Chain A
């Protein structure tokens, strides 16, 4: 029986993502840890019961067991600690793991250091190493990039539900312009704070149709640490705890091509009837190669725990893990912010813009603010912590995009082509 006490995100620290850092991973994590210690001045090593190390790749740095280096470097190597790894899901799974560890009653306070140093090898090689998270017998040999796999998923969604390249451009413009209000953004570091327009989007280089460079996640180096604690301990570290109210996990097939006969999800959503007539029937209409069943089921598991019945109305903002902009659009549907096939209307009607009913990726997200995999979901959770604490202006200056009176938020994370995913909901006091 899990302990009754609530679990809180108590604060965190950032070493901003960038294309390259001279500092190496352990120094970057130490810098983020310094930032946490500054934010929580009374935190001592004695307070920390255990660590959850969050990093995705051994290949990218040619170093196994990097977690040991990190624990040692922070001087926390007398603590229990282990690594969490699940591709792009890594950093959100670290949060979920820490939550379970605290809920088990075995630990009260957990530190999650997350990092990724993705630019030691060339971009082509990094992409290749990331693509080895795809099925290397069946998918990798045919083009070999997630860019292509995700582009093909988006083409399927586009053909079924009629969003256009312009909708994808609008999401790209929204996210990049959001990121210019976030002073830790990689886009800001590389390109400054001038806003972009749809015109810039059309001139942008095409990667895999329909995706342009602006639609794709960045390669990043960076680190973030989060502090999580039980209700009774959390009060010592923060006046504005962000409670975890719901946690859901899900997985789907390794190969996206198998989702046309995805028996484990058979009957989950009977939506064959909303398919256009020209589409040949397939064994299981959901998720097809268009939506993300792993994340949909994760939301269905998290929402009841959080008492959420109308996510669009109840959530004040969401941070959707979208390595490609079509994913963000599909996740509007899979998070049940709208019915399946209606994702396009949320971007067209400004629902997900700042000032809209449910702003999405106000941080800028993976395509603009950065995607150092092991730190990614920690960053965006920390962003939500500041949002729900009402501290965005304090952290980002007068241009920060604070959602007024934000109380409830959601974050998603996933790996592969939605092979594994998690949804976590948060609430302020």
Chain B
């Protein structure tokens, strides 16, 4: 395979001189700005050119309609396939529920409560969604750092930003006092995990917090026994097959990222 034409197409990321970002709403100054690192990393990449073609392959494949069999009977064709990169950095507002995410930075959980029907929301809603309450404005309430697992899964596959953390468990927790449930990651071995399990909400070290839901995670309140009816542990063979898959995932992550996610190392 020829490499001609590839060298001059190589992605060139040039440093960009940073200028102060303009406030979105010009009548008020920026209150806080923690976006510098992301700007410095992403802007040069974006600047290499949206939609600019970075390379190509010639691929062979079947051609034309009909059934699989009919397509495979025809002479395959060669197709030119280009690599086109596209990036964007969005500046998205958390809106009226911003206090929840600022609360995460301080290691607190906040919810909202409807003054009319009394429903308590975590995730918070700025306006009550009970049709009877006519989108009433909700009030902020402080919530405890405890809750109950409503449902869960154990992941051996995850989206790119979370892949290096595999395998892990996530699910939804009903924070004590709330009526809705909040998605979060669990630092709980699958062997011990069950619906109805009481959990404590913990936070990553302060300097690592970003103001999103990965700032917090749930751990089991100690001393709970896995009930007989727990769906994951009911069949020991299935639990073992899950644990075998997790071991394979740990090996894969070690090879790919050089990160050791085995329970002995990370503690869960």
Contacts and interface: CB of A to CB of B under 8 A. Distances in A.
Interaction A to B: yes
Interface of A: 13-16, 20-23, 31-32, 34-35, 62, 124-125, 127-128, 131, 136-145, 147-148, 151-153, 155-156, 158-159, 164-165, 183-185, 188-189, 202, 205-210, 253, 255-258, 260-261, 263-264, 276, 278-280, 282-283, 289
B139 interface: no
Interface stretch (B27-35, B41-49, B66-74, B260-268): B66-74
Contacts of B163: 124
Given A152-B171, A205-B245, A263-B130, A257 B158 contact: no
A268 to B, nearest CB: 13
B154 A208 contact: yes
Contacts of B71: 16
A165 B245 CA distance: 15
B229 interface: yes
B136 interface: no
A152 B152 contact: yes
A257 B182 contact: yes
A261 B159 contact: no
B241 A263 contact: no
A155 B227 contact: no
Nearest to B83: A120
19 contacts: A16-B66, A20-B61, A22-B63, A22-B78, A62-B51, A137-B92, A141-B212, A143-B183, A155-B151, A155-B195, A155-B232, A165-B238, A183-B68, A206-B156, A255-B180, A258-B121, A282-B174, A289-B172, A289-B181
Contacts of A261: 119, 121, 179-180
Contacts of A165: 235, 238
A209 B159 contact: no
Contact of B158 (A21, A136, A145): A145
Contacts of A21: 61
B129 interface: yes
Contact of B180 (A128, A152, A257): A257
A291 B93 CA distance: 32
B77 A142 contact: no
A32 B65 contact: yes
B161 interface: yes
Contact of B155 (A125, A145, A263, A283): A145
A81 B184 CA distance: 43
A147 B163 CA distance: 14
A279 B180 CA distance: 15
B13 interface: no
Contacts of A153: 151
A253 B171 CA distance: 17
Contacts of A263: 117, 119, 129-132
Contacts of A185: 68
A148 B154 CA distance: 8
A151 B180 CA distance: 19
A189 B69 CA distance: 8
A257 B172 contact: yes
Interface string B53-82: 000000111111111110100000111000
Contacts of A141: 212-214
Interface in B83-104: 84, 86, 92, 94
B123 A138 contact: yes
Contacts of A276: 229
Contact of A283 (B119, B154, B156, B162): B119
Contacts of B94: 137
Contacts of B177: none
A117 to B, nearest CB: 12
Nearest to A258: B180
A124 B153 contact: no
A209 B153 contact: yes
Contact of B59 (A22, A34, A143, A255): A22
